[in-house]
A and B are shown apart, each in its own frame.
Chain A
């Protein structure tokens, strides 16, 4: 990997100032939080912003605010390592805290933020390579210079993989995110932040800041996150199952959300599996049946670690394990 290219570094003191700076430089500027995703990407020359706007001095983004009803507002600049040990999160949002803990290594979690994690770039083993490597095979369409997709050469779109550990679980939990732009603040469901495209993977406008993640109050739901990766640390998910199941007082499922991370360009809903659950109790047989239905939506491609077919074949096992954890 090369060293970082040259850039100007900014430390705005308010969110509004950050947005102004971003608007002033347009495409030549990027926000940085922990930098654990952006800086390696810049070293590979994926992005070469001339202006890097750090959010570290923007006030109020560093706190976890517990509301009266038990719901929480998590500041985008909260370090992952602070969240994974937060008592309220551990007690009431265990699946989320667990997903945070599954991210990479302790060192990376000391730097990485939840905001950066939610906005993490999509990944592909044809793309996350040195400039020379990409030059040697010819740049793909996710790079400025390229037009082909190496994973699916006939395809008009990019299939780079959603690789954040928290996204599947926050989408399943129907969390919300707060965005700040030049026209003010808006709050949208987390799942509406993402698009099924490896390049334009976010719906938000480039200058919009992500300021908060809202997790809804604990109630009659249970969530879980199960991660597949080769090593028990360090590695991105090649399948990350976020599940959230609502039940009535008889233990009958009234609603279920299952999201597959690492299996497509966004956290894919396993709709057929969800349908199997509704109206049933979470017995082993029901869980197994729901798991079986997850093979189809898992759109694994040959652009991550581990064999593409194997990843799809074992998806039911992981979905079943995530559901078993929701019992």
Chain B
């Protein structure tokens, strides 16, 4: 169901709430138009001030000394030479900030500076502030740290096999951080009814966000005892909480966090970071402003990117491809800290069910601690890896059954307005239209399987994949019953509308979203609206720019605040003009009678009329997502106000002699609910194509694993922008973008997310396209040239035409997941609760 234009009233907006999700395009003046972003000109002309552009008088520069070993106890730290160096004004060690923190309440396992233990090469140990950055760096070289080396844990297999030493003294046991085991429905019955069963093993290597802006922070503890932090953070509210926790007894209301515009985030700036907290403490110590700007290498150490995930998927289907049972196991390499890892673990199991119905579903997820930079949320958080597995597996199944992979999917779409096996509530669902668009656009039916040869001897192939993503998490990071988003509006007798909101613009355009929504509701030019965002002193709380939540959540809050303002103004104008307020229309910066458009006044005069009548005008709006029917433990991750859908067809050209391939063209369709801005929505989709292309072709957080003088050296292989390969403009394909609009009633004007979803189909679509071209399967991401070559060699030698992790029993670690939590599916009459209380593993002793 797209937007039905037939019932629309042409001309200006209806007086009665034209901003509902089913508003007709022709009724909207701002929404859907390609208006430039509110901050576009400052950005492109270089005037935007990022955190590293800020300076204050008497500012000092801070550097961190980081661990050079992968796992060790800190025996001693000798800083006296550094302290004595000229120019050095302050030195901090872990003991100065002993309170642990972490983004999730269940994993408060980080210290601003390591206390007594380091867990990966790059873990910060000492902070030094000096007059210049060079002095601070030189001083760090004078610090002596004595370590007692511990065994390095380098992979999920090693972590599963090593109960001692542990990286952390919490978690399930040994180096297992989390174990989840959820069973929906009757798996045995599901597999018994299956007409075809496949079991496959996949691996998805970790990769990182690579924002162009390196993290930077400026901290200033002033003479009045107030602390202000300017930082490149996506989550000022959570940073505020972490600062208040670690800097105790400094009261939370003495701390002000200002998130600067982010030069890209993608999830990499969503955790409170050690350098932010250390800078604050250093400013308190020295009484001077402190700046820290991370080097690119340090950004790799902050990481929080895509988890490496090893997966085994057993899928049972009918002859038409209907999934009767899915048994999915995920083994996540979490790196050194918890970060968002608990949520990531659940996300590797949550969204398998929202694209095609899964009748019975078993998910097991294990997250391990290893001596690597900590993993966390990256665009598509946790759902990217299983989506790769599922979409490649479905392609294989289509092949096994002799079905067209597009038809298989079209025949098995999750119904709109339905509940999934794991109690996720699907609202609008435009995947069918997305698939249709990309198969029509690419000539899928005629061109697939043709193996056309290019002029330079490459073989063409087409691959298809789909995905879904959430429009914001249904629950906040820490348990509370408060709104997820708040917006305040101030209306001024000059006609100025100011929007205050805690959200953070990370380049995705969230500041602009506020202006479009308020502009539409109040009938004013969005470019004339002022936006004040992400300042904990001035703006109401918004949880942050993560989880694709901002457009839906701040959008709904802004809508509510704007509706309330509209109502007040309408009452003022109605009294003034003597027309019923229900007849008033707000458009073109005027407020007028819908039955006599000449009768009205400018928006400024309307505000004056209302202010004269009711006093200063300010309104608020807030948003809390609907309650989820998933009541079982673990059911908190996955629910969302709505789900977006994407489908992609990718064309590849593979050189059969070398395995080198290029991607000349991509057709990507995305069901966004409603595009609030046509151009910005397409920008997000194309950006996702680019990022997905990089993940598919080359990006990986690889480690060097060597031994030296009797100990193991384990370090990030290539922490540099040159050698961590990410695509250039030369690799970027032509992208045909289709914006599919299936408005969702939970979204402002029907909008759903667009920032993350369209990334997901890229990796599996490329794997499937490579198969279409040269008949080999690469079950491991990135799908690098060498792997395609290896699979081609293997095929040539008559062996398995595949590259990937071992499909045997040794392929995945041996882990006892304990009993599963058993939940009846909705169609079994389940109510969203578990019917058993499983025996949980005894927690390992501390």
Contact = CB atoms under 8 A, between A and B. Distances in A.
Tell me, yes or no, whether A binds B.
yes
Q: How large is the interface on A (under 10, 10 to 19, 20 to 34, 35 or more residues)?
A: 20 to 34
Contacts of B685: none
A1 B295 contact: yes
Main secondary structure of the interface of A (DSSP, over half): loop
Interface string B132-157: 01100100000000000000000000
B297 interface: yes
B266 to A, nearest CB: 20
Interface string B300-344: 000000000000000000000000000000000000000000000
Given A138-B708, A230-B698, A234-B722, A133 B715 contact: yes
Nearest to A236: B722
Interface stretch (B173-181, B600-608, B726-734): B726-734
Among B133, B297, B716: residue with most chain A CB under 10 A: B297
Interface string B83-121: 000000000000000000000000000000000000001
A133 B657 contact: no
B706 A232 contact: no
B713 interface: yes
Contacts of B449: none
A125 interface: yes
Contacts of A2: 133-134, 137, 295
A1 B720 CA distance: 8
A313 B68 contact: no
Contacts of A317: 657-658
Interface in B65-87: 66-69
B725 A230 contact: yes
Nearest to A313: B789
A314 B715 contact: no
B719 interface: yes
Contact of A128 (B715, B723, B728): B723
A310 interface: yes
A133 B295 contact: no
B530 interface: no
B786 A307 contact: yes
A93 B621 CA distance: 69
Given A137-B704, A317-B658, A132 B66 contact: yes
B789 A150 contact: no
A179 B732 CA distance: 43
B557 to A, nearest CB: 41
Interface string B272-299: 0000000000000000000000011100
Nearest to A318: B658
A152 interface: no
Nearest to B721: A1
A144 interface: no
Contacts of A136: 67-69, 121, 713, 715
B135 to A, nearest CB: 11
A125 B68 contact: no
A16 B424 CA distance: 78
A126 to B, nearest CB: 8
A90 interface: no
A158 B677 CA distance: 56
Given A1-B296, A306-B785, A137 B706 contact: yes
Given A137-B715, A234-B728, A305 B723 contact: yes
Interface string A133-172: 1011110000000001010000000000000000000000
Contact of A3 (B133, B717, B719, B730): B133
A221 to B, nearest CB: 25
Contacts of A233: 728-730
A135 B143 CA distance: 13
Contacts of B532: none
A320 to B, nearest CB: 9
A280 interface: no
B727 A231 contact: yes
Nearest to B725: A230
A232 to B, nearest CB: 4
Contacts of B717: 125
Contacts of A310: 659, 785-786, 789-790
Contacts of A230: 698, 725, 785
A137 B713 contact: yes
B134 A3 contact: yes
Contacts of A133: 297, 715-716, 719
Contacts, number: 85
A231 B722 CA distance: 11
Nearest to B662: A232
A133 B137 CA distance: 14
Interface in B155-176: none
A135 B141 CA distance: 10
B53 to A, nearest CB: 16
Contacts of A235: 722, 725
B611 to A, nearest CB: 53
Contacts of B729: 233
A137 B715 CA distance: 8
Interface in A107-148: 125-126, 128-130, 132-133, 135-138, 148
B531 interface: no
Interface string A1-43: 1110110000000000000000000000000000000000000
A230 B786 CA distance: 11
A305 B723 CA distance: 7
Contacts of A306: 785-786
B538 interface: no
B121 A130 contact: no
Interface string B748-791: 00000000000000000000000000000000000011100110
A231 B698 CA distance: 10
A232 B731 contact: yes
Given A130-B295, A314-B657, A317-B657, A135 B68 contact: yes
Contact of A132 (B68, B133, B708): B68
Contacts of B679: none
A198 B69 CA distance: 27
B718 interface: yes
A136 B713 CA distance: 8
Given A132-B66, A137-B708, A310-B789, A5 B134 contact: yes
B706 A150 contact: yes
Contacts of A234: 722, 728
B725 A231 contact: yes
Given A130-B295, A133-B719, A231 B728 contact: yes
A145 to B, nearest CB: 12
Contacts of A231: 698, 725, 727-728, 730-731
A310 B723 CA distance: 18
Nearest to B697: A230
A132 B140 CA distance: 11
B217 to A, nearest CB: 18
Instruction: Give the 8 A-B residue pairs with the shortest CB-CB distance, closest first.
Output: A232-B730, A136-B68, A307-B786, A310-B786, A314-B658, A130-B297, A233-B728, A137-B713
Given A2-B133, A232-B731, A306-B786, 7 more contacts: A128-B720, A129-B720, A136-B715, A230-B725, A231-B698, A232-B730, A310-B786
17 contacts: A2-B133, A2-B134, A128-B720, A130-B719, A132-B297, A133-B297, A135-B68, A136-B68, A138-B713, A230-B725, A232-B728, A233-B728, A233-B730, A234-B722, A305-B723, A305-B725, A317-B657
